A and B are shown apart, each in its own frame.
Chain A
Amino acid sequence: MRGLRALVGLLGLSGCVLDPRFLADPVVFSNRAERRSLDCTRLSQLEAFERYPGQVPAPQARTLASEDTTVLTCAPRYFGIDERPARDEAILSTLREQVGALADQARALHGREAVWHVDAFYPSLPVAQKIAVAARTTLAERGLTVSNRVPTLAAGDVAVLATLPPAEVYAAACRRSFETRVLEGNDVFLGVMIVDARETILHGGVCSEGAWRWLP
């Protein structure tokens, strides 16, 4: 099935007037859900030829010079838009980009001697774990020292923190983590979270030496 859908993927060469697919663009025969199940991007014919050899013909010298011919390449998404909750899907679809940007910002704040701990705060536990794993892996790939250990405050602390508004909870948890030596010395904590139920972007904050700082 995916193979067939992938065949549909290469939707055509603009400017190739003899291509009979122009008489029957695949999108005309697809329903709304199918049209929305593709991630598409437009490439130059040369780039498309390099990425999809055998499916896109090599550009001719004349085409290379003009660079007018483009190829729309589409890949089917693994999950349709209704298969996972909207906010989860929106965040998971852009997880690499969002976490990568936060990791870069966090790395700029502390030197290589820091030991990073990461956790994510998201209403759905499986998604929170995905975010945390992505952040840990990305930091480690950037050459930082990262621990897989999640700092855990005592139950009493957690009960108190749960009563605080978001404006205070992260700063208080940070302070408390260093006070109770859950974090110490060179430990730096990166928290990745959403702070509003209707947003689809991730925010980051860094806890170091008992001080909390939001990433821009």
Chain B
Amino acid sequence: MALALHQRPDVRAGWLVVALISTGCVTVYQPLVGLQRPIAIDPSWSNTFAGTKLHLRCHQADGVEADVLCRNLRTAFSKQGAAVTTEVVRQPGRSAMAPNADPPQYVMDITSRRVGQSASALSAVLCIITFTIVPQVEEYSFAQDVTVRDAQGFILAQQTFHERFVESFGVGVWAVNGLLDLLVRPKEEQVTGDRFKEEFSKDLHGHLGQVLYNASVRARVMRSFEPDAPAKPAEKPKGAAP
């Protein structure tokens, strides 16, 4: 006896494959602390940091690739006119920066770390038994601790940023939002694809730029607006690698 179309194993398998192929993630980025505040500099301006020598130190922490962060920030600051050197600090307090004939004016230390991750077992179970029609939701929270020092080690600026990402995995959430992104939403409101990364990077780079700019103005005030004298070679920091 012939089976009804929806009962045939190959048709069922086909539907399953279609469901799995079309399953995707929608990630929403939410700035929590600091990053949602406006900034006064224009990060697209190419000479905001013209003539500024910056050393970026990205500290390795849980859940974040410090070398990628440093690379991205180097590009961002270079586009704004800064001469940037980078360093990835693998072990806390073990900077490898050696005395330099041409030391940087500013040293920016960034520690980006994951501060939380949570997922719902209930949503995972529902996601599986509904063939991902009910989405699985996971949340990740990160923090960035930023400190800017001058060549002598005087702290010019300090700030901490927090943000979180809510990731929904499932065919329903992906398909509906994909359609809305395609047909209705303006680009800045889109949620599928890597849009969340662009939005976060734009926020973080902009705010780090603002922190550096504020630090440079504070340095000027501390010098009583005297022109920046050539910096003396930095002393080898305590605990620096030989």
When the two chains form their complex, are residues B37 and A89 in contact, meaning their CB atoms are under 8 A apart? yes
Picked from B38, B166, B189, B218, the residue with its CB within 8 Å of the CB of A203 is B218
Contacts of B210 in A (CB 8 A): 200
Chain B, range 41-96, C-beta contacts under 8 Å to A: 41, 48
When the two chains form their complex, are residues B37 and A196 in contact, meaning their CB atoms are under 8 A apart? no
Contacts of A51 in B (CB 8 A): none
Q: A24-B137, A42-B162, A86-B38 are in contact. List 17 more A-B contacts (CB 8 A).
A: A22-B120, A22-B123, A23-B134, A25-B139, A27-B30, A35-B29, A38-B30, A38-B36, A41-B32, A41-B162, A42-B115, A72-B164, A81-B36, A89-B38, A167-B225, A196-B220, A203-B221
Chain B, range 160-199, C-beta contacts under 8 Å to A: 162, 164, 166, 168, 173, 188-189, 199
Contacts of A18 in B (CB 8 A): 122
B28 at the interface (CB under 8 A from A): yes
Q: What is the interface of chain B mostly: helix, strand, loop, or mixed?
A: mixed
Chain B, range 21-36, C-beta contacts under 8 Å to A: 26, 28-33, 36
Bound state CA distance, A41 and B118, in angstroms?
A: 16
When the two chains form their complex, are residues B217 and A25 in contact, meaning their CB atoms are under 8 A apart? no
B213 at the interface (CB under 8 A from A): yes
When the two chains form their complex, are residues A195 and B32 in contact, meaning their CB atoms are under 8 A apart? no
Contacts of B164 in A (CB 8 A): 27, 72
A58 at the interface (CB under 8 A from B): no
Render A165-180 as a binary contact track against B, CB cut-off 8 A, 1 for contact. Answer: 1110000000000000
When the two chains form their complex, are residues B120 and A17 in contact, meaning their CB atoms are under 8 A apart? yes
When the two chains form their complex, are residues B37 and A42 in contact, meaning their CB atoms are under 8 A apart? no
When the two chains form their complex, are residues B137 and A70 in contact, meaning their CB atoms are under 8 A apart? no
8 inter-chain pairs at a CB distance below 8 angstroms, sorted by A residue, are A24-B137, A27-B30, A40-B33, A72-B141, A77-B36, A195-B221, A201-B217, A203-B217
Contacts of A157 in B (CB 8 A): none
When the two chains form their complex, are residues B166 and A28 in contact, meaning their CB atoms are under 8 A apart? yes
A112 at the interface (CB under 8 A from B): no
Picked from B33, B38, B48, B157, the residue with its CB within 8 Å of the CB of A81 is B38
B40 at the interface (CB under 8 A from A): yes
A185 at the interface (CB under 8 A from B): no
Bound state CA distance, A20 and B38, in angstroms?
A: 34
Render B108-124 as a binary contact track against A, CB cut-off 8 A, 1 for contact. Answer: 00000001101111110
Residues of A within 8 A of B (CB): 12, 14-15, 17-20, 22-25, 27-28, 31-32, 35-42, 70, 72, 74, 77, 81, 86-87, 89-90, 93-94, 165-167, 195-201, 203, 214, 216
Contacts of A70 in B (CB 8 A): 116
Please name the residue on chain B nearest to A70 by beta carbon: B116
When the two chains form their complex, are residues B122 and A17 in contact, meaning their CB atoms are under 8 A apart? yes
Picked from A15, A22, A36, A41, the residue with its CB within 8 Å of the CB of B137 is A22
Picked from A19, A89, A199, A203, the residue with its CB within 8 Å of the CB of B120 is A19
Bound state CA distance, A200 and B207, in angstroms?
A: 11
When the two chains form their complex, are residues B213 and A199 in contact, meaning their CB atoms are under 8 A apart? yes
Please name the residue on chain B nearest to A33 by beta carbon: B189
B224 at the interface (CB under 8 A from A): yes
When the two chains form their complex, are residues B122 and A22 in contact, meaning their CB atoms are under 8 A apart? yes
Q: A25-B166, A81-B38 are in contact. Are A31 and B225 (CB under 8 A)?
A: no
Q: A89-B38, A90-B37 are in contact. Are A167 and B217 (CB under 8 A)?
A: no
Contacts of B115 in A (CB 8 A): 42
B20 at the interface (CB under 8 A from A): no
Contacts of B135 in A (CB 8 A): 23
Bound state CA distance, A32 and B126, in angstroms?
A: 28
When the two chains form their complex, are residues B166 and A27 in contact, meaning their CB atoms are under 8 A apart? yes
Picked from A35, A165, A200, A214, the residue with its CB within 8 Å of the CB of B28 is A35
Q: Quote the shortest CB–CB distance from B179 to chain A (angstroms).
A: 16
Contacts of A35 in B (CB 8 A): 28-31, 36
When the two chains form their complex, are residues A165 and B225 in contact, meaning their CB atoms are under 8 A apart? yes
When the two chains form their complex, are residues A23 and B120 in contact, meaning their CB atoms are under 8 A apart? yes
Q: A25-B137, A27-B166 are in contact. Are A42 and B116 (CB under 8 A)?
A: yes
Q: A35-B30, A199-B217, A201-B214 are in contact. Are A214 and B120 (CB under 8 A)?
A: no
